Structure 1
């Protein structure tokens, strides 16, 4: 016989830990303000209690004494009470919204700082839509919940406690009869909260996928248009839209069970109060009059209305527990590439770069390097070539510690790079990559990005050296579009080359630096590249072998193994893999 599924606890240990984290890290420092808010909420609750007392007195004035002056005094006092509550209702959200917005600002600041500390591997395995969702929508929703929903819930809870206390004081028998439905309400809330928490988690995952899909579609719109795949992308996005709709329907339909349940409970209570209260008025055994019963009924309304809102709050609380967990989970990601305790900043940037018995794999079942040995001479030009997937670019990633080797070691001037401060190590490199990041800003600012303190003259010189100064003058301050959409591949790479000139680091990494340039443009900037590499340790990764013919040393990789090394002429004479690749490319160019 299948065992019934055990219901998860309403608040798991992780939930409680997350709430403590939120309080201690972002809210505790605002304790004086939160105490002020609590004081104003208590005033709001006392207003209702005093209103009930004055209402009962007013009803007795009407039914018994008939004093107009007394009735006017009571009305004036009631007006003053609600004016006070109105003032509190204005001040409470003003303070709580300020507290929550400041807390969310600090949370986003910490999230951004933490993201910047994570390894490249995290960003390569995590969908960008998920990161955007955490930084934007989830933190904002959590801020609204903290700033408004929690304050309102505390206000409602205080109202329920104070008014209930007054009703117990006035008629404990009648109140005890009214709370018989409380176990049913608690059961309903547990049931709803459990289902909301599960469904909300599914909805957040689906929403992250949806946002990532939108980003992929927008970024790939050129391909979508050329391939006439608009309908395919529409169908794909609409499928995600449908999934989100269905999940949110499940969340909201489940939450919708709360209100009718409490309404039916309220109706049952009102019938009990009217019936039993009416009997108390009629019976001579109880000292209860009509004014007391009317006031009690009014008090029950004041209890059940905030109780309804509290029920909604606890339903929403489960959704926000999911959001808080998603945000907190980001902090579980710990960078593995960081400074060693004894890391130093000084090292011989002109020394040889040596890979000794290096092993590395992106995944355990697919090793790339096993015992790789290479010596990249300081002050010389070393080229790394090979077919796609041979590990050329990975070597550059290991040199700059975007990834750490899993065996062996890499040294610069005899100093292991994992004993160097990351900032100092990476500051020693200028990089010109095929996949260049371009910001939606002017070309001038894109060049200046790598060295914000550079003078205008230095930026202009870098642009001149990279043969892009004329384009800078022509475009002026005009932004280049998202990811440089208004620029050609060659223009983007010349920006990368200009950045390398401006950075002027002692070690130059060229990763397919001229792959997007036509031969005429490549010839024009070859002299500039020669000046850029002069006196520097230069490591060139290239697919076009003609561009590395002048290198001091060429390393040929094949499936992660070093199969050949030497100068261009020597490698051609050997007739090995390099010669085969070179001749194949030469025939391809000649056959055009």
Structure 2
């Protein structure tokens, strides 16, 4: 007994597709109704041109086949030429208006995507491949714009042409036209069969494209390591493999979509044979008022119907892939930030007060807790330092203070105000950060420093550069861009730009996360006075690996495995002879060994 398949074919438009289309219409297309009506009007004119062309062609054939006059033939020829002029004008204007409309849609969509990206928390960017984000902002939104603009305008033109010309053919000979409907169920079956396969193939293509783009981005950003380790061949193989997989999937999808055209062409051949046979019989039979001019015109009309019908088939096939793309673009909006302003969040707090962590619980992974009841207090107006081994949680403390992440338990206060009861923008504007990972833009050093304060005066920018020991290089380079991610700068030069930004932002709380890690001892010594001036009167928290740089701190916290191991001043910790003393002595002996 044969098994019956319980697999149900998906509808052409799923519930999710309808919801996505509804969102796209109300968000980006509804306000373009005027332009769409203008495009539709021009398309209708094109359709009427085709209908009139058929009518005048039939009249011209009768003039030739029957006893017409040369004058009538000339008049018909001029009218047909005029029709083609009108058609040419519409063919120029329709895509022009459609492209303008689609370009605006793409611009608004990208703007909204960028705005939404900016409100997402840091965790989203840490778990999402950069290639996926770039693909949504670039390729996918552009693809949707082209589909909505040119592709859809052409599809509407083809549909209007099919309807108007079909209506005319029905009017001329409904019996012959009825024979064309015989193949309609077959065409619908092909479309339904292809659409499901296209949707599946497009999903695979999108995933492969994201993976390939992410690999390219990783390779480019890691090119220094690739070159130093002589791994060019390996990267060539890796990127080629990804491109080859993408090529294979794209060819596979095109192969599926290619079923549409020959299916419609085969159906057209069947209809043409039926019309030629049936129409020829009508011409020969005295029972029908059909002549040769009428049959030739009818066949010409079928050509005008089946060619746009074939293009319509391709459009509905590609629609499936674009529905997948639309769903992926919209999926970005399903991402929500977990870091939000409380309903009654305030903006005022004592930025000069103590910063306190009380019984703080936090983890990046629920199965691997980092902090479990962490308590720390950073006195206002003083310099506090956090030291410890890699992975002990030093930088995480700074991330929690600025609400890049929220605590899972306990509380953090600044000047007595809970950070989760303050507006995020107000809280973060109170901090100036010199981080270990420095963001450098492909602009001049001047522009890179000014980035943190667009209202800064020239004098303020120069003063910040002088304080950070980067002014001489800024004069030398002038307006020259520093390359992608500051590729033309050394690590120390990048660090000094970050320090100059801290001078320029002039925030009351200063966070230094390995701020001098890329500087040699001599350079660090040169800017030590500037850093001392910068920290004067500010609440400063320093995360440092080089313990000699924080020996003058008012309080030092030593962390180990997510917990507070010991605390005190430099001298107090050395006297205790605990973990801090071991780390300090190990660094000092290591430095002296290199020096010797």
Q: Shorter-chain-normalised TM-score: which range?
A: over 0.9
In the other structure, the counterpart of 2:204 is 202
Aligned length: 592
Shift of 1:201: 1.4
**In structure 1, what is the Cα distance between the partners aligned to 2:49 and 2:498?**
68
In the other structure, the counterpart of 2:183 is 181
In structure 1, runs of 5+ residues without a counterpart are none
Taking the TM superposition and a 5 Å limit, the aligned residue runs for 1:112-511 are: 112-511=114-513
Taking the TM superposition and a 5 Å limit, the aligned residue runs for 1:48-127 are: 48-127=50-129
**Does 2:45 correspond to 1:43?**
yes
**In structure 2, what is the Cα distance between the partners aligned to 1:376 and 1:7?**
63
Shift of 1:202: 0.9
Partner SS, residue 240 of structure 1: helix
Comparing 47-56 with 227-236, greater Cα deviation is found at 47-56
In the other structure, the counterpart of 2:552 is 550
**In structure 2, what is the Cα distance between the partners aligned to 1:344 and 1:119?**
20
**Which consecutive segments of 4 or more residues in structure 1 shift more than 6 A?**
none
**In structure 1, what is the Cα distance between the partners aligned to 2:117 and 2:52?**
52
Partner SS, residue 367 of structure 1: coil
Partner SS, residue 542 of structure 2: strand
| 1:224-252 deviation digits (Å, cap 9, x = unpaired) | 11111110000000100110110001011
| 1:100-159 deviation digits (Å, cap 9, x = unpaired) | 111111111111111111111111111111111111111111111111000000000001
In the other structure, the counterpart of 1:7 is 9
**In structure 2, what is the Cα distance between the partners aligned to 1:560 and 1:375?**
16
Partner SS, residue 565 of structure 1: strand
Shift of 1:4: 5.3
**In structure 1, what is the Cα distance between the partners aligned to 2:80 and 2:155?**
24
**In structure 1, what is the Cα distance between the partners aligned to 2:65 and 2:166?**
25
TM-score (norm 2): 0.98
Partner SS, residue 366 of structure 1: coil
| 1:142-195 deviation digits (Å, cap 9, x = unpaired) | 111111000000000001011111111111111111220111111111112211
TM-score (norm 1): 0.98
Shift of 1:2: 7.7
Shift of 1:48: 1.1
| 1:64-94 deviation digits (Å, cap 9, x = unpaired) | 2222222222222222222212111111111
**In structure 2, what is the Cα distance between the partners aligned to 1:585 and 1:11?**
66
**In structure 1, what is the Cα distance between the partners aligned to 2:337 and 2:384?**
31
**In structure 2, what is the Cα distance between the partners aligned to 1:119 and 1:132?**
17
